[in-house]
Amino acid sequence: MSPSPIVIAHRGASGYLPEHTLAAKVLAYGQGADFLEQDVVATRDGELVVLHDIFLDEISDVRKRYPDRARQDGHHYVIDFDLAELRQLSLCERRRPGASEPFFPGRFGHWDRPFRVVTLAEEIELIQNLNRTTGRNVGIYAEVKEPAWHRKHDVDLSARLLELLQRFDYRAATSAAYVQCFDAGELRRLRNMCTLKLVQLVDANTMDSLDGPALDAIREYADALAPPYRKLMVGTSQGAELRPSPAAEAIRQAGLLLHPYTFRRDQPRSTGQEFERLLAFFYRVLRVDGVFCDHPDVALRVRARVVSQA
């Protein structure tokens, strides 16, 4: 196993509090996460904010607050709002697309005290101040969201992100920072722009087409690969024997760090014991270098147990 497989708090401690809120990030920090994830999108007035999507409909009251601001497709896009307008929104647990029910019914419910949109600068300031007061070095794990889409709206999101990271002294390969993206072309461009650790995100369909030469090509510009965890295993967590998939070994042979996503205790529905068994398999057998997890406290507890038994 990797000497120190990292636990990346996926959108914060999003299994307990609404994703990408400062409350979720503070909780993840307090639980002991090694890195906190930030999905980065741009506003109309050029601010970088931390939100998972380029639109707002499923995680806020934007339809109630700004009923006449949707585009023809029915979505309210972040880039159509100034930061001051976004500050008026109340963030909530993610809802199912086009519906009012929550995506994860057992998670944080309605609360009259609003959660607000946070800028990337504010979140980094929070993390760095917590690092000062605790003596820890919790890192950031930022994603460039939809770079081609932003470019069509006259925003070079990668350049803006790097500029902000450099302002906060994240500029070297040894910095406690990763930059991730699904767009391979954008990551190649980022490699020519910085020395930070870069992560190629891949979806399930892309994983099916990744062979040795394709992985070698990724290694030319990226330090790590972040695939869906299910593509790295054969079997299920519900009692059946778990085995590594061929893809897991191929990634290892390519020399890439392996950071699979996203481990959730409530997806699929399983007992806590089954979820911990799944995590232990990824630590002990697949020897991953890190995991994205909505429940960082559980991932950390299982890691500690596996390491103590090694």
Q: What is the pLDDT of residue 125?
A: 98
Specify the pairing of strand 48-50 against strand 35-42: antiparallel
Q: How far apart are CA 50 and CA 117, in angstroms?
A: 7
Half-sphere exposure of 87 (CA within 13 A, CB side): 5
Q: What is the pTM of this model?
A: 0.96
φ, ψ dihedrals at 51, nearest 5°: -145, 145
Burial of 129 (0-12, 13-18, 19+ CB in 10 A): exposed
The helix (H) or strand (E) run that includes residue 198 is: strand 197-201
> Could you give the CA distance from residue 25 to residue 117 in angstroms, rounded to a whole number?
13
Selection from 36, 21, 10, 49 nearest residue 155 by Cα: 49
Q: Which two tokens stand for residue 46?
A: 């050029």
Segments in the chain below pLDDT 70: 1-3, 236-240, 268-271
pLDDT given for residue 240 in this prediction: 65
Identify the pLDDT of residue 111.
83
Show the CA angle centred on residue 206, arms to residues 204 and 209, nearest 5°. Answer: 115
Distance CA 43, CA 21 (A): 17
10, 20, 150, 295: the catalytic one is 10
Write out pLDDT tens, residues 167-224. Answer: 999 999 999 999 999 999 999 999 999 999 999 999 999 998 999 999 999 999 999 9
For residue 96, what are its two tokens?
């199912």
Q: What is the pLDDT of residue 1?
A: 43
Assess whether 153 carries a catalytic annotation.
Answer: no
Neighbours of 130 (CB within 10 A): 16
Q: Rounded distance, CA 140 to CA 8, Å? A: 9
Note whether 81 and 44 are within 8 A (CB). Answer: yes
Cα 28–Cα 38–Cα 286 angle in degrees, nearest 5 = 70
Q: Write phi, then psi, for 210 (nearest 5 degrees).
A: -85, 115
Predicted local distance difference test score (pLDDT) of residue 52: 98
Residue 205 amino acid letter: N
pLDDT value for 270: 61
8 A C-beta contact, residue 147 and residue 54: no
Instruction: Identify the three-state secondary structure at position 67.
Output: coil
Counting every residue written for the chain, the total comes to: 310
Active site residue 10: yes
Report how far residue 15's alpha carbon sits from residue 17's, in angstroms, rounded to the nearest whole number: 6
In which element (H, E) is residue 234 found? Answer: strand 233-234
Packing angle, helices 157-167 and 184-191, rounded to 10: 40
Q: Catalytic pick from 20, 52, 150, 259?
A: 52
69 φ/ψ angles, rounded to the nearest 5 degrees: -110, 10
Query: Class of the 6-49+119-309 domain?
Result: alpha beta
Sequence-ordered list of residues with C-beta below 8 angstroms from that of 135, at least 6 positions apart, any chain:
none
So what's the pLDDT on residue 310?
76
